Amino acid sequence: MEVKNIEAPLSDEEVLSLKAGDNVLISGVIYTARDAAHKKLIELMEKGEPLPIDLQGQIIYYVGPTPAKPEQVIGSAGPTTSGRMDAYTPQMLKHGMKACIGKGKRSQAVKDALQEYKGVYLAAVGGAGALLSKRINKCEVVAYSELGAEAIHRLEVEDFPVTVVNDAHGGDVYIEGAKAYAR
């Protein structure tokens, strides 16, 4: 099985080259954000105020990492359920985000926004947070430290493994996978 290597942040060309079902290794800088951080970012967008991070081309990982133990860069860093960010995702894509990483299905509104704004939804393996953390070489809080684990972190990753679930062309690995086994 072929694995695609991509460098974050992403260009439109990189996003458009990805298809539902592709296995991908991400290297570069990605950011974390969960519900509380998304709410704060959307409030700033609605007020027309500057954001604490530049979303252009960025990948947002839906994770609230556990505290790092001594000698670790980060604690366990497994994905959270993406549906909790569905209300915010179209606006994030409109403001430049190119990809998000989580687990589980997305709403039709999110899938439509991925096509409209040339974005991609990636899944990381749930339950593998300790293994995923080994692909993170650096972690620093860059915004909303008062949110604790839900603060926005800047992560430097190398060969971070994900699978394309929803692509910018309307592909959906969950739908296509079910059809392949339907009788």
Q: How far apart are CA 33 and CA 150, in angstroms?
A: 6
- Which tens digits make up the pLDDT trace of 94-116? 999 999 999 999 999 999 999 99
Q: Looking at residue 2, what is its pLDDT?
A: 84
Close Cβ partners of 134 (under 8 Å, ≥ 6 residues apart): none
Topology at the third CATH level for domain 3-181: fumarase (3.20.130)
Active site residues: 38
Peptide bond into 79 cis (omega under 30): no
Q: What is the DSSP annotation of 49-74? A: PPPSS--TT-EEE---PPPPPTT-SS
**pLDDT exceeds 90 at position 127:** no
- Which tens digits make up the pLDDT trace of 33-44? 999 999 999 999
Stated length of the chain: 183
- DSSP conformational letter for 117: T
- Which tens digits make up the pLDDT trace of 36-72? 999 999 999 999 999 999 999 999 999 989 999 999 9
Q: Looking at residue 1, what is its pLDDT?
A: 65
pTM of the predicted model as reported, rounded to 2 decimal places:
0.96
- Domain extent listing, the chain: 3-181
The upper half-sphere exposure of residue 32, i.e. CA atoms within 13 Å in the direction of its Cβ, equals 30
